[in-house]
Amino acid sequence: MIERPVVLSEDARSALTSAASGAARTNRPRWLIYLGAATVFAALIYTGSNLFRRVSAETTLANRRAQYDSIKVEVDRINAIKAADAAIGGGDRSAPDSRMADNITRIATGLGLVVGNVTEGDDPRGSGAKNLKRKRYDFKLNNQPADPIFTWLKRVTVEQPGVQINRVDLSPADGTDGHPGWNLSVTFTRWERVS
């Protein structure tokens, strides 16, 4: 038997094509595509949040490491100062010393300086420290040569444990014997333990 090709009308062909397209669409599960896209999107969000947390943790770690390094440098510096004090017999840098103003004056007179006015007391800016107070020593010198002044300032901070220069006012004066003179107002400070 000889088969003849089936000839369809244009309307039947269009209806058959439309029905085939609809059947093909129903056989393609779109929900799998949407599920895959949602999974990829969730994975991207998860990866991004983990990356952000990692960068944040690395930044925090770097900050803490820098803080640790700076604290270690300060601790090493303090230990070096303590070792140097012990080597020269300086003892405790914060031990109370009621003769500190006299010691500073003695260094000045040993260099040939004439000390005019000396006042000492507690520095109100140092009252917030626990078990420590900040002592203040104000000295005024008039018409003195520059070299002994600077030698005195250096020797006081080196020889007297814990003494620091807080403020210096230096102004020219008339001088003596053809040498220029200087008026000096200086404030030394020192932290002391509260007894």
Angle at 52 between CA 50 and CA 58, to 5 degrees: 100
Q: What is the pLDDT of residue 32?
A: 78
Q: Which of 35, 59, 91 is the last residue of a domain?
A: 91
Query: Tokens representing 161?
Result: 């444990």
Q: Which domain holds residue 64?
A: 11-91
* 2 within some domain: no
Query: Tokens representing 139?
Result: 């000295």
Domain co-membership, 104 together with 182: yes
In which residue are the tokens 């510096």 written?
Answer: 77
Judged against a pLDDT cut of 60, whether residue 90 lies above it is answered with: no
Please answer whether residues 56 and 50 qualify as being in contact, where contact means their C-beta atoms are separated by less than 8 angstroms: no
Domain co-membership, 85 together with 109: no
Domain co-membership, 158 together with 116: yes
Domain co-membership, 167 together with 109: yes
Calculate mean pLDDT across residues 71-77.
Answer: 92
Domain co-membership, 79 together with 45: yes
In which residue are the tokens 């009308």 written?
Answer: 9
Query: Tokens representing 25?
Result: 């669409």
Domain co-membership, 32 together with 65: yes
Q: Which of 51, 70, 91 is the last residue of a domain?
A: 91
Please state, rounded to an integer, the average pLDDT across all residues of the chain.
84
Domain co-membership, 84 together with 113: no
Q: Which of 91, 109, 124 is the last residue of a domain?
A: 91
- CA 177 remoteness from chain centre: 51
Judged against a pLDDT cut of 80, whether residue 2 lies above it is answered with: no
103-150 pLDDT per residue, tens: 999 999 999 888 988 988 887 776 666 778 888 999 999 988 889 999
**End-to-end Cα, the chain, rounded Å:** 127
* 50 within some domain: yes
Number of domains observed in the structure of the chain: 2
Residue 151: give its domain's CATH number: 3.30.70.60
Domain co-membership, 144 together with 86: no
Task: Using pLDDT thresholds of 50, 70 and 90, give the confidence band for residue 91.
Answer: low
Domain co-membership, 74 together with 16: yes
Domain co-membership, 120 together with 82: no
Report how far residue 179's alpha carbon sits from residue 32's, in angstroms, rounded to the nearest whole number: 99
Domain co-membership, 118 together with 84: no
CA distances from 66 to 15, 62, 76, 123, 141 (A): 76, 6, 15, 33, 45
Number of H helices, E strands in the chain: 4, 4
Task: Using pLDDT thresholds of 50, 70 and 90, give the confidence band for residue 22.
Answer: confident
Pick the more confident residue, 29 or 146.
146
Residue by residue, DSSP assigns 142-182 as EEE-HHHHHHHHHHHHHHSTT-EEEEEEEEEEEEETTEEEE
Judged against a pLDDT cut of 70, whether residue 44 lies above it is answered with: yes
